[in-house]
């Protein structure tokens, strides 16, 4: 098997982990679980150079400083600096056009948490084998709850040698459908992790969205290399239609496959999900920073400085970050992104 | 009637309103309800110079700066600076020895809140009239709940011309007894507000605790006047036994009387009591400082700077003060004084 080239996407900022995650230092670049940032962990997971080639990182100019200061697990990385945000189809096409057609890409978001790295590597290996057979492969992440915040993948027939054809991709369901998906068992979460040969991806993109492919190709042809950085041509890239890989390619191709991945995955999509991913004491409490908890259960405290004293609460999250203090119930985490502080940062 | 001389006691610090109230700036000197501090309000209540004489303030050296910066309602005040804390019997004796024997003193703590000033003034007038008849008069504060944190006064027979003899003083009861007191109706709270002629108080103190009287007298005789400040002799005052007026005099004298006072009184004894005393919106929320509340009821937020965002909570108090953040349930306020931050300030 040829080596796999990780393509790490460092995209938008998000507001759901505000005030810890801010526009100026978003989620991927924070040590949310453990000592390393989510971005660093995404490089670390793919740091076995007998299996993975040097990664490509696709990011925006405003995150470049964070990226380059967190390359300890991949000093050999190439960085593609997007002049503007144009969603995942364009970001992946940028990387694909910088690779040889038969190189296998493993596209990974940089803001997710994966608890079982062994399972990730095993799934990556399986996905790469399918990719070498010409498949466009999605990781099908084992669904453990009726989540309404993710897209789903319905498994089709098995492929000889491993994996499954994709029966269909399903957009974020309502709760009733999510419960039914979980009961049926053929559905897994679409976590945005994909493997394919660069040439296969570009061929499918050219078939279904030639406008995107042509525009990205123009931006790459007019681009400039500067050390490990590649800068696509800004004016050309500004013309690229903004579309996700799911819409542009995966839902349209007849060569979509999936590999099951049961790897303690979380998108750390809100403070409650972060609390879940973290180690806790026997009462379910988790403290980062200085804190004293009295008569508390399932309380998460995170402070960047001030001491936090909490008495008599259950299922509450307290975050202190600079000039902002957030106190929310577990259920209330869904509304964090709508707060004035999060919207107007 | 001769004018009343207010004697304002500015004593200990307390930890139950930590972290807003701190050893270096305790409760009386904070604007906890409204624009003025509790100390300023205690002067303001007695600022009608047709009824009240210039007040005496008894305080410790460490609070002197706060006292003297908050004398706007009593620029004519005399300040007695205690060289050490020796409880209320000694503090009141200091003031009594600086007055003529027939002057009526009105002893008032400086860290309580009184919502109905008219009722206070009316009770003060009634108490002063009894004092001129030789009674030692306690304010009997209308009990509105079975509080276990206060001493109680049981009303005895009526005195011709107004007020009642005290049947007995009762120490802080357990909840069962407090409920029974409230049901019986003859009990009121002892809020530590007393009226008597200086000479009557000193005579009773000399009868029941001559050791205290003699020691305080020695400290006054050796003391020095410095502008509006009077400094008792430090070494002499250090010898004064520490005792409350309740134990030393009120529970022992046969001349104890009480006047009922229904004046929306609160000792602001914890964060929940402070929440009660403050104006609230229609959902029971109260905000001091910058805050955004979403889906909240009965939430108190107080911040000295950072913005506080609260989602989905009921009956919770959030206090941000410098390098300390407190988040507690309403029930948890009883444990605030035991927190590491409060104990080790």
Domains of chain B: 4-266 (3.90.550.10), 271-343 (no CATH)
**B317 CB within 8 Å of a chain A CB:** no
Question: How confident is the model at residue A66, as a pLDDT?
Answer: 95
- In this predicted model, what pLDDT tens digit does every residue of B75-115 receive, in sequence order? 999 999 999 999 999 999 999 999 999 999 999 999 999 99
**A303 CB within 8 Å of a chain B CB:** yes
Work out the end-to-end distance of chain A between its first and last CA atoms, rounded to an integer number of angstroms. 47
Confidence of residue A13 (pLDDT cuts 50, 70, 90): low
**A309 CB within 8 Å of a chain B CB:** yes
- 3-state SS assignment for residue A259: strand
Answering whether pTM is above 0.90, one says no
Shortest CA distance from A338: residue in chain B: B294
Q: What is the mean pLDDT of residues B219-236?
A: 97
Q: According to DSSP H, which parts of A222-308 are helical?
A: 234-238, 245, 271-277
Confidence of residue A34 (pLDDT cuts 50, 70, 90): confident
Question: How confident is the model at residue A345, as a pLDDT?
Answer: 76
The CA radius of gyration of chain B, in Å to the nearest whole number, is 21
Confidence of residue B13 (pLDDT cuts 50, 70, 90): low
The beta-carbon neighbor of A309 closest among B306, B311, B326 is B326
Q: Give me the residues paired with residue B80 across strands.
A: B58, B230
HEC letters along B111-180: CCEECCHHHHHHHHHHHHHHHHCCCEEEEEECCCCCCCCCEEEEEEEECCCCCEEEEEEECCCCHHHHHH
**A333 CB within 8 Å of a chain B CB:** yes
Q: Do A309 and B333 touch (CB under 8 A)?
A: no
Q: How many Å apart are CA B289 and CA B302, to the nearest integer?
A: 6
Confidence of residue A27 (pLDDT cuts 50, 70, 90): very high
B309 Cβ neighbours under 8 A, 6+ residues apart:
A19, A324, A325, A326, A327, A328, A336, A339, A340, A341, B291, B292, B293, B294
Q: What is the mean pLDDT of residues A190-210?
A: 98
Q: Do A324 and B307 touch (CB under 8 A)?
A: yes
Q: How many Å apart are CA A181 and CA A156, to the nearest integer?
A: 14
Chain B residues with CB under 8 Å of A270 CB are none
Q: How many Å apart are CA B155 and CA A36, to the nearest integer?
A: 69
Q: SS3 helix, strand, coil % of chain B, rounded to 5?
A: 30, 30, 40
Shortest CA distance from A320: residue in chain B: B325
A82 Cβ neighbours under 8 A, 6+ residues apart:
A58, A59, A60, A61, A90, A91, A94, A232, A237
- In this predicted model, what pLDDT tens digit does every residue of A77-128 receive, in sequence order? 999 999 999 999 999 999 999 999 999 999 999 999 999 999 999 999 999 9
Neighbours of B62 (CB within 10 A): 12
Q: Under a CB-based contact definition with an 8 Å cutoff, are residues A15 and A88 in contact?
A: no
Q: What is the mean pLDDT of residues A228-242?
A: 97
Question: How confident is the model at residue A12, as a pLDDT?
Answer: 67
**B288 CB within 8 Å of a chain A CB:** no
Q: How far is B269 from chain A (nearest CA, A)?
A: 17
Q: How many Å apart are CA B328 and CA B316, to the nearest integer?
A: 6
- 3-state SS assignment for residue A66: helix
Query: What are the structure tokens assigned to A236, written together?
Result: 């050309």
Report percent pLDDT > 90 for chain A.
92
Chain A residues with CB under 8 Å of B317 CB are none
- In this predicted model, what pLDDT tens digit does every residue of A209-222 receive, in sequence order? 999 999 999 999 99
Q: How many Å apart are CA B245 and CA A250, to the nearest integer?
A: 84
**A324 CB within 8 Å of a chain B CB:** yes
On the question of pLDDT at A140 being above 90, the answer is yes
Shortest CA distance from B302: residue in chain A: A325
For chains A and B, CB pairs below 8 A equal: 121
């Amino acid at each position: 098997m040829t080596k796999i080239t990780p393509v790490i996407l460092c995209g938008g900022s998000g507001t759901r982990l505000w005030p810890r995650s801010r526009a100026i230092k978003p989620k991927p670049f924070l040590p949310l679980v453990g000592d390393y940032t989510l971005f660093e962990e995404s490089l670390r997971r793919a740091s076995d150079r007998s299996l993975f080639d040097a990664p490509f990182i696709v990011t925006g100019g405003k995150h470049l400083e964070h990226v380059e200061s967190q390359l300890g697990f991949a000093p050999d990385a190439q960085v593609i600096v997007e002049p503007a945000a144009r969603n995942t189809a364009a970001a992946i096409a940028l990387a694909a056009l910088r690779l040889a057609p038969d190189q296998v890409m493993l596209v990974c978001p940089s803001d997710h948490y994966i608890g079982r790295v062994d399972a990730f590597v095993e799934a990556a290996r399986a996905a790469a084998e399918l990719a070498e057979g010409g498949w466009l492969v999605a990781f099908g992440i084992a669904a453990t709850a009726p989540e309404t915040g993710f897209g789903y993948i319905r498994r089709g027939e098995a492929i000889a040698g491993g994996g499954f054809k994709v029966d269909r991709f399903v957009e974020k369901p309502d709760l009733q459908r999510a419960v039914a998906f979980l009961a049926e068992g053929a559905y897994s979460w679409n976590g945005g992790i994909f493997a394919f040969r660069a040439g296969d991806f570009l061929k499918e993109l050219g078939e279904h969205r030639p406008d995107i492919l042509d525009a990205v190709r123009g931006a790459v042809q007019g681009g400039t290399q500067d050390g490990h950085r590649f800068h696509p041509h800004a004016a050309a890239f500004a013309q690229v239609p903004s579309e996700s890989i799911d819409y542009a390619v995966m839902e349209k191709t007849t060569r979509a496959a999936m590999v099951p991945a049961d790897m303690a995955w979380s998108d750390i999509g809100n403070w409650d999900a972060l609390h879940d991913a973290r180690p806790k004491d026997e009462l379910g409490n988790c403290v980062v920073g200085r804190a004293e908890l009295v008569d508390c259960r399932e309380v998460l405290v995170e402070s960047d400085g001030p001491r936090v004293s909490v008495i008599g609460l259950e299922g509450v999250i307290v975050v202190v970050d600079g000039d902002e203090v957030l106190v929310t119930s577990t259920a209330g985490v869904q509304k964090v992104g709508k707060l004035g502080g999060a919207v107007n940062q």
